[in-house]
Amino acid sequence: MPSSVMPTSTKGAGPRTPAAVSAVSALGLRKSYGDKTVLDGIDLRIPAGSVFALLGPNGAGKTTAVKILSTLVSADGGQAQVAGHDLAADAQAVRAAIGVTGQFSAVDGLITGEENMLLMADLHLLPRREGRRVAAELLERFGLTEAAKKPASTYSGGMKRRLDIAMTLVGSPRIIFLDEPTTGLDPRSRHNMWQIIRELVTGGVTVFLTTQYLDEADELADRIAVLNDGKIVAEGTPEELKRLVPGGHVRLRFTDPDAYRAAAAALPAGTPDEDSLTLQVPSDGSQRDLRTVLDRLDNARIEADELTVHTPDLDDVFFALTAAGGPTKEAVR
């Protein structure tokens, strides 16, 4: 690892140094297959020691971006540095610094979990004894010790995914690419995987992940980029992205039509729905905003039967940005 690539911080853990070193930086990456443009000039900058999530609908080009940055396919244009090495000029040095867990498993089902791990140790040219030690340690860490001597084909989907990531870690990479690490996992396995990812980051590893799950990006990522139609249409912290879309509101529901009508009069900014006797009042969800709404109801002696606060989440952002005719990069940045 070059001495300049030092971990900075993890989400919510300590301050980020202002001059955070980039683990990945890319400028104008382009890739086409035939006449289909998959990546249409994407820029990325991922500080070392952080978690970056690339979001996007099916076919957006997430896997293509991962494959380019991990040297598995070459870009048609643009340039990128990974772990301080130029992708085009020094692919070998990039490979030595990274680990990749692909969207589809690299586990060989015919051999045992342990043999899969030892194979990786061999690929990384670890001495035999060191390879055994690393394999055993990782199998233990990923809860696979008991299953280690069984053929990997007998593992559940979650176990295979854990083995996949354990195999990626054999070479102690400083940057890991995880292409949809939790797709197909049950809620408990997903949370376990999140915990593993957080531990990696605490250890100073930079994580580049792609995901379809917005809560996953929200949970793990320091920064998120949304890829759509080959372009990054938004980039920022989860909070910054949520601020891009309107939609925060307080919803008041009534059973008494008179109370409903009185509330609609007291809160003229609200959108009334006569059929369901509900009133939707725009709100940023802040304490001050809620107090204003409640004060107005109190002053008019109105009691709502139900009050719910809706703040925009990443689902709202995703739908707003990846819908046909969504805002352009310039408009939302």
247 token code pair? 């939609």
Question: Toward Mg ion, which CB reaches closer, 33 or 86?
Answer: 33
Asked if residues 214 and 312 have their Cβ atoms less than 8 Å apart, the reply is no
Q: State the nearest-atom distance from the C-beta of 64 to Mg ion, in Å.
A: 8
User: Which option in ligand ATP, Mg ion, none does residue 60 bind, with CB closer than 5 to 8 A by kind?
Assistant: ligand ATP
Q: Copy the structure tokens of residue 106.
A: 């690299």
Q: If binding is defined by CB under 6 A, does position 58 make contact with ligand ATP?
A: yes
Is there binding between residue 103 and ligand ATP (CB under 6 A)? yes
Q: Which of 21, 24, 29, 38 binds ligand ATP (CB under 6 A)?
A: 38
Q: Is there binding between residue 103 and Mg ion (CB under 5 A)?
A: yes
Report the residue number, 5 or 68, with the smaller CB distance to ligand ATP.
Answer: 68
* Alpha carbon 302 to chain centroid, angstroms: 43
Q: Give the span between the Cα atoms of 49 and 92, in whole angstroms.
A: 22
- Distance of closest approach, residue 232 Cβ to ligand ATP, in angstroms: 13
Taking the least distance from each CB to ligand ATP, the nearer of 227 and 293 is 227
Residue whose CB is nearest to Mg ion in the complex, by number? 63
Considering only 63, 112, 206, 278, the residue that binds ligand ATP (CB under 6 A) is 63
Which C-beta is closer to ligand ATP: that of 60 or that of 220? 60
* Span from 60-68, 147-155, 250-258, 305-313 in contact with ligand ATP (CB under 6 A): 60-68
Strand-pair partners of 224: 53, 236
Q: Shortest Cβ distance from residue 56 to ligand ATP (Å)?
A: 5
Comparing CB distances to ligand ATP, the nearer of 117 and 217 is 217
Burial of 264: CB neighbours in 10 Å, binned 0-12, 13-18, 19+: buried
Per CB under 6 A, residues contacting ligand ATP are: 33, 38, 56, 58-64, 103
Per CB under 5 A, residues contacting Mg ion are: 62-63, 103
